[in-house]
Chain A
Amino acid sequence: MNSGINNIGRGSKEDRWREAPRVNLRRVAAALAFGVALVFCWRAAEIRPTVLFAPGTSVALWVFIRGLFPPDLSLDFLRIVGAAIIRTAALAIAGTTLAITIGLPLGVLSTPTLWQRGVLLAGEPPGPGKLAVAWFSRSCRALLGFLRAVPDLIWGLLFVVAVGLGPLAGVLALAVSYGGLLGRVYADVFEDVDSRALEALHAAGATRTQVFLRAIWPQAKPSTVAYTLYLLECCARSASVLGFIGAGGIGYEINLSMRLFEYGQVLTLILALVALVASTDFFSRYWRRRLHANAPAGSLAYQNIENERSFRNHAGRRTRAMVIVLIAAVATSFYLTGFFTSTRAGLLSRIVRFAGEMFPPELDPVFLRSLAVPLIQTIGISVMGTLTGIAIGAVLSLPATTTLVFAGEDEAGSRSLLGRAARAFVYYATRLALNVLRSIPELVWALMCILVVGLGQFGGTLAVGLHTGGVLGKLYAETLEEVPARPVEALRATGAQPLQILLWGIWPQARPTLVSYTVLRWEMNLRVSTVLGLVGGGGLGQAIYNNIQLGFYSRITTIVAIIYVLVIMTDWLGDRLRNRRTAI
């Protein structure tokens, strides 16, 4: 065959260089458009890096940090913190329960494979009945989309006006916005199951209920349960923020202490919040791992689960006790949030009256024009905040990735105890930093950033960036860890260094997932950016707050509609970005 093969790796003299430089016009245009958009966003978000290094800033930062210490640990205050924590947890649990109650039926109703198209419907006679069912299913899906598109805090504001201040408004806000999210995810999961099982049962004469129970649910169960548990984490975080707008709990206390300049109390409250979020995370992760719904087969993470799974043969005994505890927790939560007591007469008529005042929406051109600037600010904050978050997350994710930090520790190579300890320190320190960044909600970050850099969009951008950095850093690290291990091992066997393995083995495999997470996060940040104005972070939130205070409810309808359209457009753009991810 080829006589020269033994010289290939040693370099050959023949000139076989094939020039293939392709200047892609579309790519250049896209880069240009991106650049222009970036400049716009930079201006809209009022990014002023110099402010960060101005002497006034460091003084303000120093005053704030010095104020944080020592944390207020007096018994009286701790009692307040404890009550706030319990109220927030109750809010989260009651909200999650109601969200499931709303999301599950609507999710089933809006599953296309059950009602709209596919193997179950193909053999049915066409007619108005079939069309009506399909139409109904589609409108359920649209309803879910609407519930989910409007941010939870805006739902909170609306419910505060409708049912009055207090935890009930918070529960309803969580139920509605997360019910929409949950229903949409359930419908997606139900649709994504292997349809061959559906077809087999359908052909054997099973009813739709039987098909759902026997073919769809068993396949969808792990993802459904895992996502529901994840939702509890989201609700806990959201519940703590809902306090800012009057739902009580820890957010309310943070807001109060910030405004009273009691930074020692703020630190205590933030620590309590971090503990609450961390314990919810732990609980949810523990159960997700038990249900082994997360890791893909063959990944490094999966091998760990394999080992763990063998130790859980005696889990059945504990299940019954867990169910009892769960029911007790849910009942207590509903009681604490005043769900039973405050359903007094007159509430319903109040809601109806409020809803009536929201219509018709205000369409005065002067008012509409006044919304243009906050709208652009909101977009600018979301884009620049996400970019900041990407930078923070990318830097912090590498030392938080076990497969990189502890690469091959027990597989090959002798490593000193000191080296191993240093590695472990870097790893845990980074994980801690990521957890702190992530556990503090954007609104709390916004309060602190505004304190340091002043009111306006820049503070909001920094707040979004810090929180997003924590979230993305953790997701990036997990993605890098869960990359299929075989190609990585092959590269290590060629003698590649860690950086080379990262660039050539891990990055190409992780890239689509990383891009997907980042785009999803940007979509979420857009929602957050619409409410930052509530605390002075710029954007549409300020307009909403003012109009609610002034009782111009018809204007609120207009702003909510604008936010809905904005979110729908972002989701559409995000979907396109994600599907074209290979080109990025």
Chain B
Amino acid sequence: MIYSLKDITKKYQSRNGPVRALDRLTFDVQPFERVALLGPSGAGKTTLFRLLNATLRPTSGKLSFDGNDVGAMSSRELRQMRTRIGTIYQQHQLVPSLSAFENTLCGKLGSWSLFETVRNAARPTKRDTEQTIAALEAVGLADKQHARADELSGGQQQRLTIARVLMQDPDVILADEPFASLDPALTETIASLLLELVQNGKRTLVATMHDVDLALRYYPRVVALRNARILFDKAPSDVSREDLDTLYGDDSGPDVELRVDPDIQEPPREFRHKQHRAR
């Protein structure tokens, strides 16, 4: 088992008291499995992702990765675990002022020693350069390698995050809405790229999807989250019309997570407040 979740609960503090973003989640993910996560916004998908790549701790419950209890890991072990998990974020989370090349290279950070980090900041090695360019070529961005990340379009940024994951060469890929900002043609390309990456590379894929058709077509297993709980967990062929109606219906409870989740805000475009202060 690559992931094992048992009674995972995550609470946030909000002005109206604690809010449950995830409520007693229990499920397993087998190696090389492809899982689609469905659910309306605010259902807790992004929180679940941050638990799965160990950048957030659950409030209670036990999360195991590859048989090891994540809660008992040291910082170093956590870092080692994170190098095995590649995350494709919904909002791309690229370093805006670095070039496409450098952002891709960042995927390798976890595997570098201290010395390599310092040396590569000045000038990457031949091997890393080759790999970076190969990764950029694989996503069709080789001609954009010198462009700054914030100069790229939404679709190009999305492909760049995939290039970063290619560099990282992880065992598990977590993709948060990987097709959200892509046009239909590009969606096909990226979907097959992701699929090839997972199937040929013997990797596990967990992806949140808002496009139900795409999820049912590409993924052998569908897990649906609603109001911080698992609504259903089945194969696409078993998913019924009623299931989906319940999932996206309007009679949901209070959707407070929307206001609480720190991921909702857009990142600031630039960073030039306070210029006056130092004058």
Contact = CB atoms under 8 A, between A and B. Distances in A.
Contacts of A483: 271
B167 A414 contact: no
A414 B265 contact: no
A124 interface: no
B55 A412 contact: yes
Contact of B74 (A411, A414, A505, A516): A414
Contact of A5 (B91, B189, B197, B262): B197
Interface string A159-198: 0000000000000000000000100010011000000000
A369 interface: no
B94 A497 contact: no
Contacts of A181: 279
B71 A223 contact: no
Interface string A474-514: 01000000111011011111111101110111001111110
A503 B117 contact: yes
Interface stretch (B28-36, B133-141, B206-214, B245-253): B133-141
B147 to A, nearest CB: 14
Given A1-B193, A296-B273, A412-B54, A504 B279 contact: no
B152 interface: no
Interface residues of A, number: 71
Interface stretch (A15-23, A78-86, A201-209, A541-549): A15-23
A234 B232 CA distance: 62
B131 interface: yes
B89 A411 contact: no
Contact of B130 (A14, A310, A511, A520): A14
B21 interface: no
B274 A520 contact: no
B109 to A, nearest CB: 4
Interface stretch (B79-87, B215-223, B235-243): B79-87
Contact of A487 (B78, B95, B107, B135): B95
B245 to A, nearest CB: 34
Given A188-B276, A500-B109, A500-B117, A413 B78 contact: yes
A303 interface: yes
B129 A18 contact: yes
A295 B273 contact: yes
B114 A8 contact: no
A505 B95 contact: yes
Nearest to B174: A493
Contacts of A15: 130
B57 interface: yes
Interface stretch (B1-9, B37-45, B96-104, B177-185): B96-104
Given A298-B267, A512-B97, 11 more contacts: A8-B135, A185-B276, A310-B15, A414-B71, A486-B89, A497-B79, A500-B112, A503-B118, A503-B121, A505-B95, A513-B274
Closest 5 CB pairs of A and B: A9-B169, A495-B110, A495-B83, A490-B93, A495-B82
